[in-house]
């Protein structure tokens, strides 16, 4: 007989190990004063962020570097070392020292998130969408051999580097129980009996407990947070990036998740999760406001000195603070020499600084924007 727990059960498997099978959601949660306060703070903060997002003058431009920041930090939790500056510089055409494999992993996260957001217009958050997002996340990168877009058919486990299943910190459901667990999890996604932030906090923890893929579970689980908030119309666009909070408190992140499966500590996990939502909502709003103020000041300064094209270049710096004349000429459909003149004017105005000494296709950076984006959480 399996050993029974309030929040799930551990089942003995043929290999002699015990795997954890979580109970279907929702869990029994004690509504403590601290948990209620954390939910209230998170609701207010995300409401302010949503309002600010709807007022952004160029949301499609400004959101892109925030998406890339989330990609960098979520991938860093899994061991990828690429920085936001390296990713943005490489996208602009600059040579960077970081390995192409690390940059590809982070770029895949951006692709998977943007695909998921677009797919929500036709497909609800579901196991099918989870598989499609995972396929794009894992294509052509480390872990691709484990089966992009396919739920696992073998046992996996979580532990320190080099750990075996006998020394694992946590062993998720065995393969023959996986679809049972995922089916219950998918059904819970469409439940509306809980406050949405509580629901996605619970769903994220349960997804990590099920660990349905052989690789990429953490990144997919964090992507689901953003996709859920967009599907529920809580956010108008991917503006909230909780990975920055998880990365800054990585040990606590893992401890709180393990606290749920080991001891049923849902309240502690939810307080931690909601605190992260509130802090990152305020953080994202602060960064967006400061970048918008900076862009407005530059437009005012440059408008008195130069032609319209330089103002168009400033708008694109919100999307990526790195630029080259070649890239700007293509984006703005102008001649290379015309784009270079606009960049030279922005360099003279103190908006851009040159960050490469190459004679051809020199790379420039709006360092003040990059500094805002790269500030620690």
Do residues 365 and 322 lie in contact, with contact meaning Cβ atoms separated by under 8 Å?
yes
pLDDT digits (tens, 9 = 90+) for 64-101: 888 899 899 999 888 888 899 999 999 888 888 888 88
What percentage of the chain exceeds 90 in pLDDT? Answer: 72
* Burial category of 357 from C-beta neighbours within 10 Å (exposed 0-12, middle 13-18, buried 19 and up): exposed
Do residues 368 and 294 lie in contact, with contact meaning Cβ atoms separated by under 8 Å?
yes
pLDDT of amino acid 306: 62
Is the model's pLDDT at 2 over the cut of 50? no
Extract the tokens encoding 214.
Answer: 């052989």
**Mean pLDDT across the stretch 307-330?**
90
Distance CA 216, CA 340 (A): 42
Query: Per CATH, the architecture of 3-282 is what?
Result: Orthogonal Bundle (1.10)
Is the model's pLDDT at 259 over the cut of 90? yes
pTM of the model: 0.91
DSSP 166: G
**Mean pLDDT across the stretch 261-266?**
95
pLDDT digits (tens, 9 = 90+) for 267-281: 999 999 999 999 999
Banded pLDDT at 25 (limits 50, 70, 90): very high
Is the model's pLDDT at 341 over the cut of 60? yes
pLDDT digits (tens, 9 = 90+) for 293-311: 999 999 988 887 666 889 9
pLDDT digits (tens, 9 = 90+) for 206-256: 999 999 999 999 999 999 999 999 999 999 889 888 999 999 999 999 999
| Unique residue bearing structure tokens 């196991």 | 127
Give the domain ranges of the chain: 3-282, 305-374
For 50-56, the CB contacts below 8 A with 24+ separation are 50/234, 50/235, 50/236, 50/239, 52/285, 52/288, 52/289, 53/235, 53/236, 53/237, 53/239, 53/288, 54/236, 56/288, 56/292
CA angle 162, 164, 170 (to 5 degrees): 105
Domain spanning 305-374, CATH class: mainly alpha
Distance CA 205, CA 274 (A): 13
Do residues 61 and 297 lie in contact, with contact meaning Cβ atoms separated by under 8 Å?
no
Is the model's pLDDT at 55 over the cut of 80? no
Banded pLDDT at 61 (limits 50, 70, 90): low
pLDDT of amino acid 5: 53
pLDDT digits (tens, 9 = 90+) for 328-339: 999 999 999 999
In the sheet with 353-354, reading across from the earlier edge strand, the strands are 322-324, 363-365, 353-354
- Straight-line distance from the first to the last Cα atom of the chain, in angstroms, rounded to the nearest whole number: 47
Distance CA 296, CA 314 (A): 9
pLDDT of amino acid 283: 93
């Amino acid at each position: 007989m399996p050993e029974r727990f309030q929040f799930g059960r551990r089942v003995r498997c043929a290999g002699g190990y015990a795997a954890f099978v979580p109970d279907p959601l929702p869990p029994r949660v004690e509504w403590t004063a601290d948990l209620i306060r954390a939910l209230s703070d998170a609701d207010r903060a995300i409401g302010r962020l949503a309002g600010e997002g709807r007022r952004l003058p160029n949301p499609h431009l400004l959101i892109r570097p925030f998406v890339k920041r989330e990609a960098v930090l979520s991938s860093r939790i899994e061991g990828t070392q690429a920085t936001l500056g390296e990713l943005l510089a490489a996208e602009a055409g600059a040579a960077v020292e970081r390995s192409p494999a690390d940059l590809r992993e982070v770029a895949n996260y951006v692709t998977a998130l943007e695909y998921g957001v677009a797919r929500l217009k036709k497909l609800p958050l579901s196991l099918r969408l989870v598989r499609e997002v995972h396929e794009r996340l894992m294509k052509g990168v480390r872990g691709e051999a484990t089966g992009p877009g396919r739920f696992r058919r073998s046992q996996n486990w979580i532990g320190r580097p080099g750990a075996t299943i006998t020394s694992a910190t946590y062993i998720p459901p065995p393969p023959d129980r996986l679809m049972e667990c995922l089916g219950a999890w998918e059904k819970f996604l469409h439940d509306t009996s809980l406050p949405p932030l509580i629901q996605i906090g619970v769903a994220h923890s349960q997804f990590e407990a099920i660990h349905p893929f052989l690789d990429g579970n953490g990144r997919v689980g964090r992507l689901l947070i953003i996709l859920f908030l967009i599907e529920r119309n809580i956010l108008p666009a991917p503006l909230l990036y909780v990975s920055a909070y998880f990365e800054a408190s990585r040990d606590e992140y893992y401890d709180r998740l393990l606290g749920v499966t080991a001891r049923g500590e849902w309240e502690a996990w939810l307080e931690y999760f909601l605190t992260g939502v509130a802090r990152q909502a305020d953080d994202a709003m602060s960064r967006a406001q400061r970048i918008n103020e900076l862009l407005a000041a530059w437009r005012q300064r440059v408008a008195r000195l130069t032609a319209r094209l330089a103002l168009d270049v400033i708008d694109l710096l919100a999307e990526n603070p790195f630029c080259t004349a070649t890239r700007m000429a293509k984006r703005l459909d102008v001649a290379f020499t015309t784009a270079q003149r606009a960049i030279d004017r922005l360099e003279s105005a103190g908006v851009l600084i040159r960050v490469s000494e190459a004679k051809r296709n020199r790379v420039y950076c709006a360092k003040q924007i990059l500094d805002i984006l790269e500030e620690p959480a």
